[in-house]
A and B are shown apart, each in its own frame.
Chain A
């Protein structure tokens, strides 16, 4: 082992890295900071390393051209040994990275760690979050399947709404007026060189500041941050009641990072790679594109906005959001760190988290457009036809053939643009059903011109059977009066 020592000394004499590394590793951190709450930053860094390693391996096979990208992903999935696993690790790694970065940011916010003197660390962190999201989006584009194609189309159309510079920006982003070969090359360059390069630089500065300024102390109610006294207080805290970063705090970071990597691997093995979905060809209309999970909330938010609000929201909301994040450490650089004394901060975080969760949930099942092949693919539930008369059965055929099913679900399958019709007969009388079919209304087009009287009669007699066995169909009381009056008139004896 002598030669190892000799070689080490030879290198150390020239590099002189031992002292700074020792200093960084052994720097004291507040005792309570060596906590499981402080592991998310290092986990995000570990995931970044994973993404770099898997990304390099993928780049060896991936062909960033419009004609070959999709095929090269299929080669990875099906022909290369463990190619699918590599793709799955990179894909799940990206999902985990977005999640861990967001959790890290929430924790830093909740612990007041952005306050003096760590404002710049927070600001770089905000940019790192934006870059992580940009990596996620550009990565989704490189998958170059139907989701990628249409996701890119939506991205471009969002960009195009910026006044004056929108058009040229789209042109620059896509490398031309349409999504083509140049688009993919640009996104490849962004995903592989530009954003990762900037990201590594920012991460280096971010970590450098964490080492130099020290890890945030555990927030205690009543321990107020003041610019004039904080540095001295922190210095005293770490030197009188501090522990060396390695190994007291570091082992928790290491264990958590390892657990996250294991979780990525388990997800990769169990759930497999993302896509690629259908071929990215705008002439294939059987496509139901949908963004990856971290952008689903935008999808839902935009869908629920009234159309007139879309452009202002798209253009103004991100600017406000990012400005607020950047201004936060300047607005609140002093004061309480503990969440016990920051009710507004806690409420804000809770509100944002709940809204984000709700929007994501809505986006994962809300019908964005009719389900175009429900009419020919989802059969009418057998129990609705069990005792059907010939006319009702024909009504069910009309129901399918006129593609009512694309917007209306029966027994949970079918489109969701319109209401499910499983119990429609309890809500609407025969007359109301006929009127709705002929004239439409609400969100429904009028079908009067597309249906013959026989088709309407058959369809409505089918709809009239759609009610639970123990519930009577809706009936019009006045109509019953008229009918009974008519029948009594008709049977009145002649004088």
Chain B
């Protein structure tokens, strides 16, 4: 090999390298973030803060199915933001905001709420039906709730009373609001129907949901929660 044969090859290689330098596998892609609190990308924030409990893409997690469009339609921005900021008293949902001693800034929580809305909120999630209100301060009728539980819930929730939604241990870990949300919006990732389809053809009214929650609440054993740390103040 003469030098004049090699030189063009070397030149061509160098030219290729320079031309394609930003497409080489080793070329650094995303710029390293200066600080973790500057992260405002929904996907990244969800991945590090939420998906441990709520599951990849907001479903099939241990905790509630956030990708349920009916849930997203039921809850308003203010309540969603408040839950992320301060946690949910009576539930395992912890606070994530700096003001409550956790890591996320207000901007990051806004980005999370906005991202959830963009990803999972669908227009007309309820069709022509009007769902019961997200929350209700009324006191429910326990006896009526028990009847409704028998007719609308017990057909699926029937195995092993210690493991069921009626077990005091389970109820000690769920707040009234969490129960209400699940009854209204269902959990499509588990096959739990919404308020219209617990018993097809007989949708529950807002008062019915309040009554069922009151019935479940009456099964709580105050001692189960005795040693629990104080819930964050709302």
Contacts and interface: CB of A to CB of B under 8 A. Distances in A.
B35 interface: yes
Contact of B169 (A269, A275, A373, A457): A457
Given A376-B49, A452-B227, A453-B226, A394 B28 contact: no
Contact of B52 (A379, A449, A450, A453): A379
Contacts of B28: 77-78, 84, 272-273
Interface stretch (A187-195, A205-213, A249-257, A396-404): A396-404
B172 A454 contact: yes
Interface in B46-76: 47-56, 60-63
Contacts of A426: none
Contacts of A385: 60-62
Contact of B223 (A77, A85, A453): A453
A451 B157 CA distance: 26
Interface string A259-291: 000000000111111011111010010100000
B162 interface: yes
B163 A82 contact: no
B62 A277 contact: no
B60 A78 contact: no
Question: Which among B21, B157, B173, B223 has the highest number of chain A CB atoms within 10 Å?
Answer: B173
B52 A396 contact: no
Contact of A391 (B17, B27, B164): B164
Contacts of B48: 373, 376-377
B128 interface: no
B99 interface: no
B213 interface: no
Contact of A452 (B51, B52, B224): B224
Contacts of B33: 278
A372 to B, nearest CB: 10
A311 interface: no
B227 A88 contact: no
A375 B172 CA distance: 22
A450 B226 CA distance: 11
B165 A390 contact: yes
A453 B27 CA distance: 53
Interface residues of B, number: 52
B167 interface: yes
A242 to B, nearest CB: 29
B26 A397 contact: no
B138 interface: no
Contact of A389 (B17, B51, B164): B164
Given A84-B27, A389-B159, A376 B50 contact: yes
Nearest to A401: B92
Interface string A443-484: 000000111111101100100000000000000000000000
B32 A379 contact: no
Contacts of A273: 26, 28
Interface string A353-394: 000000000000000000001111111101001000111111
B26 A272 contact: yes
B24 interface: yes
B173 A272 contact: no
Contacts of A396: 62
A271 B62 contact: no
A332 to B, nearest CB: 44
Contacts of B227: 449, 451-453
B18 interface: yes
Interface string B158-179: 0110111101111011100000
Given A380-B61, A454-B225, A390 B164 contact: yes
Contacts of B123: none
A378 B17 CA distance: 39
A18 interface: no
B229 A394 contact: no
B170 A391 contact: yes
B25 interface: yes
Contact of A397 (B63, B159, B160): B63
A286 B163 CA distance: 38
Given A378-B52, A379-B52, A399 B173 contact: no
B21 A81 contact: yes
A74 B31 contact: yes
A458 B31 contact: no
Nearest to A76: B28
A216 B223 CA distance: 83
Given A452-B225, A455-B228, A377 B51 contact: yes
A78 B31 CA distance: 7
B188 interface: no
A277 B17 CA distance: 25
Contacts of A457: 169, 224
B163 A452 contact: no
Given A397-B173, A401-B94, A450 B225 contact: no
Contact of B228 (A375, A405, A452): A452
Given A82-B18, A278-B32, A454-B173, A270 B62 contact: no
B34 interface: yes
A270 B25 contact: yes
Interface-central residue, A82, A390, A400, by most chain B CB under 10 Å: A390
Contacts of A275: 32
Contacts of B160: 389
Interface string B195-234: 0000000000000000000000000000111111100000
B225 A461 contact: no
B62 A85 contact: no
A85 B17 CA distance: 10
A369 B14 CA distance: 45
Contact of B25 (A74, A272, A449, A453): A272
B36 interface: yes
B168 A454 contact: yes
Contact of B55 (A271, A379, A405, A453): A379
Given A375-B52, A400-B63, A451-B228, 20 more contacts: A78-B31, A88-B26, A279-B35, A281-B35, A376-B51, A377-B51, A378-B51, A379-B61, A385-B60, A385-B61, A389-B163, A391-B169, A399-B62, A450-B229, A451-B227, A452-B225, A453-B169, A454-B225, A457-B169, A461-B162
In order of increasing CB-CB distance, the 7 nearest A-B pairs are: A272-B26, A454-B172, A396-B62, A389-B163, A452-B228, A454-B224, A454-B169
11 contacts: A85-B17, A269-B26, A270-B25, A272-B26, A376-B51, A379-B55, A380-B62, A400-B62, A450-B229, A453-B226, A454-B224
